[in-house]
Structure 1
Amino acid sequence: MSEQRYRLHWVTAIIETLKAAKEAILPLVVLLFANGRRDWNTGLWYIDYLSFLILGGLIILLSVSGLIKWLRFQYWFEDDELRIESGLFVRKKRYIPFERIQSLDYTEGIFHRPFKLVKVNVETAGSSSLKKSEGELTAITKEAARQIEQHMAEAKRKRKQPMAEDLVNDDPFYEETVEAVKEKAQKVFALTSKDLFILATTSGGIGVILSGVAIFLSQFGELIPYEWIFDEFASFVKFGVLIVGLIVFAGIVGVWILSVIMTFFSYYGFTVTLEDDDIVITRGLLEKKRVTVPLKRVQSVSVIQNPLRQPFGYASVSIHSAGGGVGDGAKINLFPLVKKNVVQESLEAIFPNYHFEEPTTKLPKRGKAFFYRIDFLWMLPVIGALAYFFFPYGLLSLLIIPAIIAFGLWQYRSGAYAIYDSQLTMRFRGISLQTAYMTKRRIQSLEMKQSYFNKRKQVATIVASAKSGMGQHRGIIHFMEEGEAERILSWYEKRTVQNAVPLLHVKDESLEGE
């Protein structure tokens, strides 16, 4: 392969500078506020404006560091490898064999689009969701990105077809092959405008915004004039409860609108396509992202229905991937919002070897009480204390009892499971209803739990775990028939020799349930 060395686009210097500034946002804001709150005058300008000078020096340092990262970064292709060299005083070299590369993920930010650039993340099987990608090219042209794809495809094709070693990138046969692969791309899912609006409306963006505000307040609490805010709030209260209520309502609506806008920008143009043996997900308005997930890395599939969407027949679908570094990590949002009645058809187009029918085997009636009995016992002292110390209003805490029982019955009625040949399907509920689809060869461990009280009622809990990045995705069926639990253990034990050795655990627990 060619040993010609390539540089990143000059926009890299700006992006790296802004990235470094973002990481140093705390000292930058502190220095900025320190200048605004300066109330001394020593007569020495370099003392009076010391924080300004430090702030300016820090900004210059960040700009120089971004410029150096751009000037000292090179990549090239050699010996069927993508080679990257970077660093000023410490030169770092990273050699990534093309055969190890699982996917090339693309991002087009606001600085990329005007110049038709992309950021490329190189993901390998060893990438971790807790680490950065194996390699990152901050800003290169789309043509350069296609060149990397061509080198990678050629290297993998050589490995499969040793007789084709004389083919080069500009070979007409090679170009036709690449175009043929692109033509095979099959679009399997796209968010409509209506679905996008419903997704934005029912998303959890409000929680993200409020948590961000809480983090800001914790970091800069000393700089916020709380006394002035409380005085102003007290003056507002004088106008009456109605005015205060309207202001609070307007604030909540404002936060909700902001969360809708954030979700809209993030999921705009969301599409899922099949290209050869890869799932390709594209999304984003201001920042367009393209994530590639090899089908062979998918470990399990989950269909999730939260209480807000379930009554309207909507669900979301996630896949769990081995390794990491793709999308949001090991858990990837495959269908952010989809009608439940078309989930099976859409998933079968991607995973034809899976069975996506609803599980039909329900839980036994004798295990029903275990879903709420422990919570009930834990809450009795709390209810008693509230009723005693806050009598008579504390008696309202008695309403917790029917709420606990109703929630337990809700979980009981949601539970179901099924075995289809080499696949285990489990449906269970925390707050949201989740249906997990796991194949036998992808299940890393299967665990049976049983307490003394469970044995008396002849029920048991089964926990199936599949790899999800550096962690695990677990499917749980609580308090099923003991005989059925043992049958699932036997089913898992009969795996073929080619698969990993099963990890079976049988536990006796003193507690009544989880």
Structure 2
Amino acid sequence: MKDERLPLAALILMFAESGYKSLVYVIGLIVIGFRDRRDGGWIVWVLVAVGVLLVFGMTLVRYLRFTYRLADAQVVIKSGLFVRKTRHIPYAKIQTLRRQQWFFLKPFNLESLTIETSGKNGSEGEAQLYAVAPSVGVAIDARRKTAQAKAVPAQAVPAPALAARDQAAAAAQLGALGAAGQPSEPAAVLDPTASAQPSAPVTSGAEPLPAELSYTISAHDLNLYALTSLGFIPILTGALWLWDKFDDIVPKDWEQNVNRYMAQLAVAALVAVIIVALVIGIVISYLRLVQKYYQFTLTQSGDTLTAARGLLKRTQVSTRLHQLQAVRFSQTVIRQWFHLTTVQALIASNASDDEQSDAMVLMPVVKADQALTAMRRFVTWLPAQVPALQTVQRSRYWYYIRNAALGNLVAVLAGLVGIYFGRPAWLLPAALIGAAWVLLAALQGTYSARSAGVKILSPDLLVLQKGGWWRRQRYFVRRANVQSLEVNTSVWLAKRRVCHLVINVRQGDSNENIEVSYLEQPVADAVRAWYRPADFGAGDWAL
């Protein structure tokens, strides 16, 4: 097969990507160049134009120098602006395939592909094919499955059927899902004679391959997910940053008019402006998430999980089950109030896709008491239920509160000193705001302490839970996927037999550090014995 060039539409995407990456430099040049200039800043516009032409010219050459070929055993990609590079990507080494289709590419039946391997090549993946026909992705995926099947022959592993009471409970909970993400074939999944799930993690051989399953988010769940998001906070933070840079961008007379108008507003009017800004931020966050997870669908075929979603940009990510390093159940404090959780997978590739883009979303939102039952259909090594965790003792909560409040207190005091010498009239309101912020940090410390815990579920499965800034995360990790385990303490904590437990698992190209702080020493020792049973007596890991 001969080398293929990318369609002309790919050039538009490459131009857009290059322009987006250069945008921050252009803005910085304009802000710095126009500050206190008396010549109208024409030289700044010349530099910007030269820079834009240079970026577009380099992008055009990169497009003309890019070719790809689907050989029998590998994908061959040739690229390079000045140095010619040829990459050979064997189908058997492809870990994840991500397919994206912007709305303006749909009429032309084109999409972009990102190929992920274990070679780790940054956030953009091992290779990208812009605006190619969907048949290219289908062909790569089919050849990948064939090559991987030949490399590792499938082994049948007998799996015991669920007990009758577990079947009844699973049927009741999945039936309660109703419109909230109704499975497409619940009867076939819950039939004990059909694709039965194991009641404990499989410890030898390959995992059983269930029949094809699917989950589709309902409109009700999608609205819940968008409305309970804290995504408006980054939007407001960005708006405040732009407001802070307002005087550097706009002409001086504009700035004076705005300042004069703001000074004339009453307190009630300022409060109304703040409320309007908050509402706008929430609406923007809601619309962003609705279009991002529009028609979210999770399917499983054999040992491959595929998540598809999006309105303006349809994204499809496929990964194999053995790539799952851990499963994370994440709840913001708002979603805790509504008993909702988000299920995410930490995978050994860069195909992450959630609000913070650090994990692959498996279910955007599901009822907390139904989450495990729903996910066990896809990830069979998850437990049917989780017993009470070994939590941090209440007497240790003080450590969390101290750590959260102390750093913020130092920052607030430093800010107050600067205000005292710079704007003394603002000292009192700034002190009140600072006190409220330190109190909020202390409450966050209490929240983190109440969220922390750990539990050994079986010789092969561990659950850890931790709390961050108003977000609780529960991780299910298999022993085989733990990269390292640390038990840390200090001279002062050692006297009280208190320590920190750290579990490291692979996440994309980096590491996910799961730390549960201020645990009792016997609890951490039990987890260490679970991880290294050969170094400890049998049963020493039981909690």
- The question of a shared fold, defined as TM-score above 0.5 by the shorter chain, is answered with yes
Aligned partner of residue 500 in structure 2, secondary structure: strand
Pairing partner for 2:64 from 71, 76, 98 = 71
Relative to structure 1, the CA distance from residue 216 to residue 97 in structure 2 (aligned partners, 3 Å threshold; closer, same or farther) is farther
Aligned to 2:506: 467
Pairing partner for 2:454 from 413, 417, 422 = 417
Relative to structure 1, the CA distance from residue 148 to residue 416 in structure 2 (aligned partners, 3 Å threshold; closer, same or farther) is closer
> Percent identity at matched positions?
22
Relative to structure 1, the CA distance from residue 54 to residue 340 in structure 2 (aligned partners, 3 Å threshold; closer, same or farther) is same
| Amino acid across the alignment from 2:212 | A
Displacement of 1:336 in angstroms is 2.3
Displacement of 1:323 in angstroms is 3.6
Unaligned runs of 5+ in 2: 154-209, 421-426, 536-543
Aligned to 2:540: none
Relative to structure 1, the CA distance from residue 313 to residue 82 in structure 2 (aligned partners, 3 Å threshold; closer, same or farther) is same
| Amino acid across the alignment from 1:210 | L
Deviations 1:257-308 (A, max 9, x none): 1221112111111121112212211111101111112211111112122111
Work out the CA distance in 2 between the residues paired with 1:245 and 1:426: 42
Aligned to 1:444: 483
Pairing partner for 2:370 from 322, 342, 352 = 342
After superposition, residues 160-175 of structure 1 pair within 5 angstroms as none
Work out the CA distance in 1 between the residues paired with 2:241 and 2:442: 36
Unaligned runs of 5+ in 1: 42-47, 162-182, 497-514
Displacement of 1:491 in angstroms is 1.9
Aligned to 1:270: 296
Using the size of structure 1 for normalisation, the TM-score is: 0.77
Deviations 1:113-137 (A, max 9, x none): 1201110111112225x34211111
Work out the CA distance in 1 between the residues paired with 2:341 and 2:12: 40
After superposition, residues 22-33 of structure 1 pair within 5 angstroms as 22-26=20-24
Deviations 1:296-344 (A, max 9, x none): 1111112122111101111112221224344466522322222101111
Aligned to 1:144: 136
Aligned to 1:119: 112
After superposition, residues 428-439 of structure 1 pair within 5 angstroms as 428-430=466-468, 431-439=470-478
Counterpart check, 1:242 vs 2:235: no
Work out the CA distance in 2 between the residues paired with 1:215 and 1:395: 22
Counterpart check, 1:91 vs 2:84: yes
Displacement of 1:481 in angstroms is 3.4
Work out the CA distance in 2 between the residues paired with 1:49 and 1:487: 69
Deviations 1:48-88 (A, max 9, x none): 98777766666555555444443332211335111011245
Aligned to 1:358: 386
Work out the CA distance in 1 between the residues paired with 2:434 and 2:96: 54
Q: Are the equivalent residues in 2 in contact too, given 1:14–1:66 (CA < 8 A)?
A: no
Counterpart check, 1:21 vs 2:19: yes
Q: Are the equivalent residues in 2 in contact too, given 1:132–1:325 (CA < 8 A)?
A: no
Relative to structure 1, the CA distance from residue 91 to residue 346 in structure 2 (aligned partners, 3 Å threshold; closer, same or farther) is same
Relative to structure 1, the CA distance from residue 157 to residue 352 in structure 2 (aligned partners, 3 Å threshold; closer, same or farther) is closer
Work out the CA distance in 2 between the residues paired with 1:159 and 1:402: 58
Aligned to 2:8: 10
Relative to structure 1, the CA distance from residue 139 to residue 486 in structure 2 (aligned partners, 3 Å threshold; closer, same or farther) is same
Using the size of structure 2 for normalisation, the TM-score is: 0.73
Aligned to 2:162: none
Displacement of 1:480 in angstroms is 3.2
Work out the CA distance in 2 between the residues paired with 1:404 and 1:30: 33
Counterpart check, 1:287 vs 2:313: yes
Q: Are the equivalent residues in 1 in contact too, given 2:298–2:306 (CA < 8 A)?
A: yes
Displacement of 1:146 in angstroms is 2.1
After superposition, residues 154-233 of structure 1 pair within 5 angstroms as 154-157=146-149, 159=151, 185-187=212-214, 189-213=215-239, 222-225=248-251, 228-233=254-259
| Amino acid across the alignment from 1:489 | R
Displacement of 1:108 in angstroms is 0.2
Structure 1 or 2, whichever has the larger Rg, is 1
Pairing partner for 2:350 from 305, 313, 324 = 324
Work out the CA distance in 2 between the residues paired with 1:55 and 1:227: 25
Deviations 1:473-503 (A, max 9, x none): 233333333323222222211169xxxxxxx
Work out the CA distance in 2 between the residues paired with 1:146 and 1:264: 27
Deviations 1:139-176 (A, max 9, x none): 11112322333443444455568xxxxxxxxxxxxxxx
Computed over aligned residues only, the root mean square deviation of the Cα atoms, in angstroms, reads 4.1
Work out the CA distance in 2 between the residues paired with 1:393 and 1:26: 32
Aligned partner of residue 308 in structure 1, secondary structure: helix
| Amino acid across the alignment from 1:481 | E
Work out the CA distance in 2 between the residues paired with 1:385 and 1:253: 31
Work out the CA distance in 1 between the residues paired with 2:395 and 2:58: 63
Displacement of 1:352 in angstroms is 1.0
Moved more, 107-116 or 223-232: 223-232
Displacement of 1:4 in angstroms is 2.5
